[in-house]
Amino acid sequence: MSYDALLWLSFGGPEGPEDVRPFLENVTRGRGVPPERLDEVEQHYQHFGGVSPINQLNRDAIKAVTAELDRQGVRLPVYFGNRNWHPMVEDTVARMAADGVRRALVFPTSAYGGYSACRQYDEDIARARASVGPDAPDLVKLRHFFDHPLFVAAFADGVRAAVATLPEQARQDWRLVFTAHSIPLAADAAAGPPEQGGNLYSRQVTEAARLVAAELGVDAYDVVWQSRSGPPQVPWLEPDIVDHLDALHEAGVTAVVVCPVGFVSDHLEVVWDLDTEARDRAAELGMAFARSATPNNDPRFAELVVELVREQTDGAQARALSTFPLIGCTANGALCATGCCEQPRRPAPAAEA
């Protein structure tokens, strides 16, 4: 099949102090996130001058992918659009239509399934096309890549480099801890095509962790969660990374390497929740701590994206290290399967006092 552009579709983040509140309102509209949680997260962003690293990281990655497409002789202009902040995907798709793009591939900046990581990007695609109207290009989203050998290898090398930054006496005996964004248990239960039994998000994260650990030859490691949101009465995936550091300390662990396998770049939830909160807790506990790199700036990430593109444009072989079904590739916002990644019903708001 032939395509005339690639759309880089991401989450978006604020680029100055005045952007933070409206950005957070876009992210959480209709999601039942309590205002106290929003105030807290606003402070995390303001701590960095109201600028999330995510937009610049995406621009850097787009530059690398553009160069890699060029190197491989694939002629596709790359456009950039976000769900929650400028450049908004609706505006980008309008520009694509105006430029005469009829049919484009879409790279979502998430490797996983689940409502937030997969289906919500399909909704973004459908919403953007609807807002542009009949001239909107066809948009075909690329598949999940959590088990792609280039993704796994980039994380494994990141862990090796992180170990080298530990104090010398810690380098022989450290605990490997993988993290990903927590989601509500009900959302995880509903993740994936229903006939695959649910929990697709946590199962894919666990599989990616297993593959990275296997590449490193490490057989004892943990998979934990971070950045929990939502109302406190709703159960989310646990344990949280910070609580887990306490448990490891109790168990006598003196050094940890944290690998954020759930993310592709060092965006705010990595630089705050891991590099600030988790690192501070480790310091309080007297544990050596290193956080390994995400793949965004690794040349293999650009190669991975181009390989996913070529699966669609010239039938390149789909490489995957696990036996999970290859899914996530759908057109114009279609679901991966009927009933896939259904968004759980939100709890009724707490009664007013």
Ligand X SMILES: CC1=C(CCC(=O)O)c2cc3nc(cc4[nH]c(cc5[nH]c(cc1n2)c(C)c5CCC(=O)O)c(CCC(=O)O)c4C)C(CCC(=O)O)=C3C
How many chain residues touch ligand X (CB under 6 A)? 25
* Nearer Cβ to ligand X (29/75): 29
Q: Residue 191 binds which entry of ligand X, Fe ion, none, with Cβ cut-offs from 5 to 8 Å by kind?
A: none
**Binding to ligand X, residues 57-86 (CB under 6 A):** none
Q: Which range binds ligand X by CB under 6 A, 24-32, 151-159, 167-175, 309-317?
A: 24-32
* Nearer Cβ to ligand X (90/269): 269
Please say whether the dihedral angle defined by the alpha carbons of residues 181, 185, 189 and 191, taken in this order, is positive or negative.
negative
**Binding to ligand X, residues 199-258 (CB under 6 A):** 227, 229-230
Q: Residue 118 binds which entry of ligand X, Fe ion, none, with Cβ cut-offs from 5 to 8 Å by kind?
A: Fe ion
To the question of whether residue 249 is assigned a binding role by annotation, the answer is no
The closest residue (CB) to Fe ion is 118
Tell whether residue 119 is a contact of Fe ion (CB under 5 A): yes
**Binding to Fe ion, residues 322-341 (CB under 5 A):** 336, 340-341
Among 175, 267, 279, 281, binds ligand X (CB under 6 A): 267
* Nearer Cβ to ligand X (106/268): 268
Under DSSP, is residue 353 helix (H, G, I), strand (E, B) or coil?
Answer: coil
Q: Give min distance, CB of 339 to Fe ion, in A.
A: 10
Q: Strand order in 288-291's β-sheet?
A: 221-226, 175-181, 255-259, 288-291
To the question of whether residue 181 is assigned a binding role by annotation, the answer is yes
Q: Residue 50 binds which entry of ligand X, Fe ion, none, with Cβ cut-offs from 5 to 8 Å by kind?
A: none
How far is it, in rounded angstroms, from Cα 284 to Cα 281?
Answer: 5
Among 92, 110, 204, 292, binds ligand X (CB under 6 A): 110
How far is it, in rounded angstroms, from Cα 73 to Cα 67?
Answer: 10
Q: Residue 336 binds which entry of ligand X, Fe ion, none, with Cβ cut-offs from 5 to 8 Å by kind?
A: Fe ion
- 7 contacts 69 by C-beta, under 8 angstroms: no
DSSP 274-330: IIIIIHHHHHHHT-EEEEPPPGGGSHHHHHHHHHHHHHHHS------SS-S------
* CB environment 294-328: b (16+ within 10 A), e (fewer): bbbebebbbbbbbbbbbbbeeeeeeebbbebeebb
Q: Which range binds ligand X by CB under 6 A, 33-41, 93-101, 151-159, 320-328?
A: 33-41
To the question of whether residue 202 is assigned a binding role by annotation, the answer is no
How far is it, in rounded angstroms, from Cα 120 to Cα 57?
Answer: 21
DSSP 183-234: -BHHHHHT-S-GGGTS-HHHHHHHHHHHHHHHHHT---EEEEEE---S-TTS
- Name the burial class of residue 36, with classes exposed (0-12), middle (13-18) and buried (19+) by CB atoms within 10 angstroms of its CB: exposed
Q: Residue 119 binds which entry of ligand X, Fe ion, none, with Cβ cut-offs from 5 to 8 Å by kind?
A: Fe ion
From the list 95, 91, 98, 96, the residue with the least C-alpha distance to 127 is: 91
Residues that bind Fe ion (CB under 5 A): 113, 118-119, 336, 340-341
Annotated binding-site ranges for Fe-coproporphyrin III: 52, 121
Residues that bind ligand X (CB under 6 A): 11, 13, 24, 27-28, 31, 33, 37, 41, 52, 54, 109-110, 114, 116-117, 181, 183, 227, 229-230, 262, 267-269
